[in-house]
Structure formats: structure tokens, C-alpha cells
Amino acid sequence: MKHLSFLTMYVVIIVAFVACTKDSTDGDENTSIPIKLDCYHEKSLTLKDRNNSGVDYIIDCDFSITTGILTIEPGTTIQFTDGSSLTVEQNATIKAIGTAEKPVRFTNSGVSGPSWSGIYIDTKGVGSEINHAIIEKAGIGSSFGQLNPVKAALTIQASTLALSNTQITEFGEAGFVILFDAEITTFSNNSFKNGNGYPVVVFPEVFDGLDFSLNSYVNNKTNYIFYSDTRTYFNNTNNKTTIRKAPVPYLIDKSSTFNSSLEIEAGVQIICTENASIRVEGTNSFLKVNGTANDHVIIKGLEAEAGYWGGILLTSETDKNLINYLDISDGGSDNFDWGPLKANIKLAGFNETSTIINNSTFTRSGVCDIAAHEGFSSKNLTINNSGNINICRD
């Protein structure tokens, strides 16, 4: 019995010594030295603001978390070495939530310009959020997503994300790339600035739910919202699409087909490259341009040149095509295989349809301002207060 008592006392002393040693280590930890994070994580991880005036953690690899929650607390700074990245995948979630006074910061090793690959979110985990963060000097090295070549500071695919109050700055090819099956549940009060490329690149099928007017885009070399399926040589969507007014123009760089309704709100500006066209096709598709006297819709070429870009094709079988206060120019490089004539707007199809154009201007057209294919009945075209428009028939 006495032997057992001595043994019990010995165990208690050892446990107490270990506990005291652990407490002492925590207390003596040098928080001015960043912690180098392991590259692969299969469970939740919390990163804290350890160093009030400097870097808290270093990532020098392609960091990945596959399960659990990556929690990044206010004031935390993570430094990425050249070419490194952060991926949230499989079933993981990221919660990088700072405050206005203590944002979460993702940065590089201190060199000028972008040098690390960026953040990639492709996960079945729900509830990812980035709020009051700074993502800087990323978007070079590797691109992310299926067949996506665009390198971005932040890329999302097949996942949900709330993004707010965040600065994405000094990025490489793009600030934010939104790929297929992505859902942006909150997109407000973000700033995209001082970038070498596009502030936002957005996949056609996920475009409709986004309001780009709630964010700012400043001093970017190609300061457009880039509407593009980056994987292919054409854009195609079966979803209803509304293009809302934004602080910067939209850019379309390829043939873009809308198989449902396309509505363009007042004040929208769309810039088209030489390979671009806008095609509204399908049984129930229609085009509505909702410009106003004080806020026209502008669609034009990247270059001010007659017939520079393809133009608009309407083949819909409805009576809902309505164009108000549209200033369209530089179209007419494509006849869309509906007769030889090219124009800013081509009307085609063999079904009864109608198009009404009010208070609009047509300049620098390829051959005609409006070209009507032989199957389109001229009685279904109404033009009001739109000046001298050159209408041709194939």
C-alpha cells in the first residue's frame, strides 16, 4: 500500500512538471518569429494574430486543407513565398474574417509586384467567408480550376463564398475569377485596385446573380469586368441574364450566345473585341435594352472602327425584343451565316417575331445599321425617334 502511494505521488509530480513546462513554453514563445505552416491539413486549423506588428505565418508551398474549417482571426498576416498558394478543397471551409481595424492579410515576401499564385476555393464545404481582408501581390505562377488559364489572386469553382469588405490589390492577370457552379452569396464593398489585369473574370452561367455596382475598380491596367468562359472559344448560357450597371465597362471577347432572356439595364457599357458578338437565339429568348434618356446603354468595339466586332444577332421567336436608348457602334464583321449582309444588328429567323427600337443611335456599322434576313418580315420591325437608320435586306 505504501508502495502504491509513492507511485501515485511520483505520477502526480511528473504530470505537474510537464504541465508547468508546457505553460512555460507557451509563455516564452517568440511571437516575433513567424510559424512556417505544414502544407497539408485534414482537420480544422485556427490561425491567430501572434505578432502585432509583423508576419504571423509563412506558407512556402501549395498549402491545402481538405476537411474542417480554416479559421483566420482578425489581424493575422500570412506571408507566401514565390509561387506558393492556398487551396480549400474537398469538404473544407475557410473563414477569414477580420475587422476594419484589424484586417486579415494575405501577402508576399516583400518583393514589388505579384509573386505568389493566390487562393483557390473548390470545395463541397459550405459557409466559406472572406470579410475585411487584404489579398495582395498574388495572381502569378499557377492558374486554378478546370481548364482555366487565367491566373488570379482569388479563384472559386463549384463552391459558395461570401466576399465583402476586402481589398484585392496589385494582382497579376486577374483579381477574382468566378468559374462554373460557383455561388457568391455576398459580393459587396470590395475594392479591386492597382492590378496588372482584369479586376473580375466571370463565367457566363454564374453571371446573372452578381451585382458589380456594389464594389470599386480603380487603376487596373485592363479595367473591365470580363465576361468569359475562359475554357473555350465561345460563351454560352441557358440561364436568364441581366447585365447591371457597374462602375466600369464589361468586356466580351468571343461569340456569346444567350439562349434565354438577356436584359441590359440603363447605364451599362459593353466593350467588344474583334472576335466578339452577341447572339440572342432560341424559341423563348429575347433581348431587352432598358436605357433611359439620362442613362443610355452603350455597346461598342474596343477600337472605333466600322465593322470591328461581330454585332448583335436576334433570331428569337417571341414578340418581346425591345430596345430603348441604345448607342451601338463598330459592329458588323459577322453575317452569322444568315445571308451576306453585315450590320450592327442582324434580324433573322423564319418565325413571326417583332423588334421595337426606340431612341437609339447606330454608328460605324459594317455594311448596314440593321440587316434583315429574307425570312424576317419587315412589318415586325418598329423604329421610333432613332434618326436616319440604314436598313438593308438580304
pLDDT band at 350 (very low <50, low <70, confident <90, very high): low
Is 327 within 8 Å of 301 (Cβ atoms)? no
More confident residue, 1 or 187: 187
pLDDT at 27 over 80: no
d(CA 113, CA 142): 16
Closest CA to 320 of 350, 285, 271, 346: 285
DSSP state at residue 83: T
pLDDT at 9 over 50: no
In degrees to the nearest 10, what's the CA dihedral of 124, 186, 130, 167?
140
Question: What confidence score (pLDDT) does residue 2 get?
Answer: 41
pLDDT mean across residues, the chain:
90
pLDDT in tens, 77-128: 999 999 999 999 999 999 999 999 999 999 999 999 999 999 999 999 999 9
Question: What confidence score (pLDDT) does residue 146 get?
Answer: 92
Question: What confidence score (pLDDT) does residue 319 get?
Answer: 80
CA angle 315, 345, 378 (to 5 degrees): 65
Residues forming a β-bridge with 95: 71, 129
pLDDT at 7 over 70: no
pLDDT in tens, 263-299: 999 999 999 999 999 999 877 889 999 999 999 999 9
- CA 177 to chain CA centroid, Å, is 4
- From first CA to last CA, the distance across the chain in angstroms is 110
pLDDT band at 239 (very low <50, low <70, confident <90, very high): very high
More confident residue, 313 or 7: 313
pLDDT in tens, 145-162: 999 999 999 999 999 999
DSSP state at residue 183: E
Closest CA to 96 of 109, 87, 105, 83: 105
Closest CA to 186 of 145, 248, 242, 130: 130
Task: Report the predicted TM-score, pTM, of the whole model to 2 decimal places.
Answer: 0.90
pLDDT at 374 over 90: no
Is 265 within 8 Å of 243 (Cβ atoms)? yes
Question: What confidence score (pLDDT) does residue 26 get?
Answer: 36
pLDDT at 208 over 70: yes
Could you please report the per-residue DSSP string of 125-170?
A: ----EEESEEEESB--S---STT----EEEEE-SSEEEEES-EEES
Question: What confidence score (pLDDT) does residue 223 get?
Answer: 98
Percentage with pLDDT > 70 across the chain: 91
DSSP state at residue 116: B
What would the grid cell of residue 375 be? 425570312
What would the grid cell of residue 164 be? 465583402
d(CA 222, CA 209): 23
DSSP state at residue 246: -
pLDDT in tens, 46-78: 999 999 879 999 999 999 999 999 999 999 999
Q: 6: burial class by Cβ within 10 Å (0-12, 13-18, 19+)?
A: exposed
d(CA 105, CA 130): 11
What would the grid cell of residue 206 be? 454564374
* Cβ-Cβ contacts under 8 Å for 32 (sequence gap 6 or more): 51, 54
pLDDT in tens, 270-280: 999 999 999 99
Instruction: Report CA Rg, the chain.
Output: 28
pLDDT band at 379 (very low <50, low <70, confident <90, very high): low
Is 333 within 8 Å of 311 (Cβ atoms)? yes
Is 280 within 8 Å of 313 (Cβ atoms)? yes
d(CA 2, CA 15): 20
pLDDT at 23 over 50: no
More confident residue, 318 or 323: 323
CA angle 270, 271, 275 (to 5 degrees): 125
More confident residue, 53 or 357: 357
Could you please report the per-residue DSSP string of 297-360?
A: EEEEESS--TT-B--EEE--SSS-EEEESEEEESB-S--TTSSS--EEEEE--SS---EEEES-
Question: What confidence score (pLDDT) does residue 352 get?
Answer: 62
